[in-house]
A and B are shown apart, each in its own frame.
Chain A
């Protein structure tokens, strides 16, 4: 099984590497870039939700903090872009570290509400700190990213950067989840009380997961800023937070590839529907896309309630033999 898995990984790596060579269209390349960016955010959130068992509806705020930190350093302080990408994720990490302790004491609905509130708070800051963030009209003039003398102008080049970052993220995540710490995370996910009872410092571990998820979101945000070269508060609002959570849940909680699949599915579906809906219904706008989205997600939740890539637990299968059969069919 191990060699089979490795072979599959190599095939995936080769396919990803070859994509920019086959695809000339900057449109398809951009779809993959967006998938890559969202997948990095979703991987971090996946660690938090799937392993540490903590829900966050404020992830877009960290994504935005990374983007704004990078953009402000690059435009107002004239730092070299690559350095900005490396430094920017530290801001959301620090913020996560500071707010993590009090916020992660909360559980379930209260945690959801607190992270949601945090997300809205940061969004308001983006809008109101006009002199620093450019306010609601946004920040223009973000330079292109360059590595040495190579400026990343084409989407093909940017694809390698983003998917390289995603590859590193996945590699780190795979190692982390297989390590003793990863198993402890799973223990917290299964039962926080039981984990505490056997002497695990759950508070500190949850905080670590929270900080790491913020770091990854910030990294994706910084990469986004240098890709579009313009940012305004609107992509970092509440709806984006919900979308990130959706990617994790649809892909499968507690899986390595789930968040990537979730990101690919949501971005791919949006683009497909943008093309398909006007063909089917000429006068329809995006609101119809939302209906199709809804139908697809209801179907996924009906037939694969734990997400597409999650292995159905035997206890679930036992208590719902019919669902098991229908998913096998």
Chain B
């Protein structure tokens, strides 16, 4: 009994200690010495867990950018303190991490998360606390309220799926293809793709003859593809990310299906080509310009941004950055630009974010407004084709 009481007491002390820590932390603001007070920006990233392949390049990018910014003197002489927390791809932890950044660290803005689901979980928290948030995930739901308006405090940098869907539908029409088969992975990404492609196809007069799904962990999609082969479809659209996207492609080639294979921006890293082992040749996909940055015409306003990002990233981490890192780049740059204009005031930063136009980022040229908290149009994407295991820009 005594031992148990002691343990319970110990717990209480632990609770008090935690509370004590919190109090102590909030009072220990950096001393205002010769250098100006640091501006704090928070980031909640899916660094580990199921979405680690998205979160890791994002974390690397954010770290690199803040180092560069501080080396150049920060924002108006204020150094920037970026606090990056890992949510382990878990929604409950994302909520806690966001609250920690807002209440303990008193950040000016929150960047994150990598996935749509983890981002959506944080929306309520930032809205209640009135802190601007810039998500790096795709779903349009993140910035839309249930009533169909834009979420006042939430922005996002990844292209919405509807943009990709429209782009593909228009490409198909341009090629004279009216009947397609649609395969998607059974998760939030594929789900959103299916919904948006159905809309885009209907709007552009494309018929979806066949809708099939596969799990992100499946190792063989021959069953679904056999149905595709038997159908009257003239092209196949696959909405997935590697490794399953690569496996579909391999199965597609081994079944000798004779029609164009169209993927999405989900395959936008070298991993897709590597896992597909040669089967990737001939795949066509709409994509952010990052993978074909070198082939872009000089007139493209994004080209210098893309090349310098690729250069810096390669120098620091020894590999080419992925599209997801690009979403992190845009989130950070937009936030910094807003703080530059608004100063350390959360509401003003929000207003400033809403007014950013003509900003060349990695994922596209951002034109944010009160009606559009993503600000990317169809011109943010180009069509690429894979030839000999390399990305090639297709002329529009």
Contact = CB atoms under 8 A, between A and B. Distances in A.
Interface of A: 1, 4-5, 8, 11-12, 15, 19, 22-23, 25-28, 30-31, 34, 127-128, 130, 135-138, 140-141, 153, 155, 224, 228-230, 232, 234-235, 257, 261, 264, 268, 270-271, 274-275, 278, 283, 285-287, 289-290, 308-309, 311
Task: Classify chain B: how many residues form its interface, as a range.
Answer: 35 or more
Given A22-B19, A228-B124, A127 B47 contact: no
B274 interface: no
A274 B44 CA distance: 11
Given A27-B102, A232-B188, A286-B48, A138 B117 contact: yes
B319 to A, nearest CB: 15
Contacts of A232: 91, 117, 120-121, 188
Interface in B1-58: 1, 3-5, 7-8, 11-12, 14-15, 18-19, 22, 26, 47-50, 52, 55-56
B95 A30 contact: yes
Given A5-B5, A235-B92, 14 more contacts: A11-B12, A128-B186, A228-B91, A228-B124, A230-B120, A232-B117, A232-B188, A234-B117, A257-B4, A268-B18, A274-B85, A274-B93, A285-B86, A286-B87
A309 B7 contact: yes
Nearest to A135: B191
A136 B188 contact: yes
A292 B93 CA distance: 17
A278 B191 CA distance: 34
B12 A15 contact: yes
B391 to A, nearest CB: 28
Contacts of A311: 3-4
B92 A228 contact: yes
A21 B387 CA distance: 64
Interface in B183-216: 186-192
Interface in B64-108: 84-93, 95-97, 99-100, 102-104
B129 interface: yes
Q: Which secondary structure dominates where chain B touches chain A?
A: helix
A15 B104 contact: no
B236 interface: no
Contact of B48 (A155, A287, A308): A287
B191 A286 contact: no
A291 to B, nearest CB: 11
A134 to B, nearest CB: 9
A137 B139 contact: yes
Contacts of A8: 5, 8
5 contacts: A23-B19, A130-B191, A232-B188, A234-B90, A271-B100
Contacts of B19: 19, 22-23, 28
A230 B84 CA distance: 23
A34 B92 contact: yes
Interface of B: 1, 3-5, 7-8, 11-12, 14-15, 18-19, 22, 26, 47-50, 52, 55-56, 59, 63, 84-93, 95-97, 99-100, 102-104, 116-117, 120-121, 123-124, 128-129, 139, 141, 145-146, 186-192
Given A25-B103, A235-B91, A286-B47, A140 B56 contact: no
Contacts of B102: 26-27
A141 B124 CA distance: 10
Given A12-B8, A228-B121, A308-B7, A140 B141 contact: yes
A26 B103 contact: yes
A138 B22 contact: no
Contact of B191 (A137, A234, A235): A137
B96 A31 contact: yes
B138 to A, nearest CB: 10
Which of B3, B14, B15, B59 has the most chain A CB atoms closer than 10 A to its own CB?
B15
Contacts of A155: 99
B52 A285 contact: yes
Closest 6 CB pairs of A and B: A286-B48, A141-B146, A285-B47, A27-B99, A286-B88, A27-B103
Contacts of B8: 8, 12, 257
B117 A26 contact: no
A130 to B, nearest CB: 7
A268 B21 CA distance: 13
Nearest to B97: A274
Nearest to B3: A311
Contacts of A140: 120, 141, 146
A10 to B, nearest CB: 13
Contact of B14 (A25, A268, A289, A308): A268
Contact of A270 (B89, B93, B104, B186): B93
B120 A23 contact: no
Nearest to B189: A136
Contacts of B86: 274, 278, 285-286, 289
Contact of A229 (B4, B88, B124): B124
B91 A28 contact: no
A234 B102 CA distance: 24
A27 B100 contact: yes
Contacts of A31: 18, 96
Contacts of A261: 7, 11
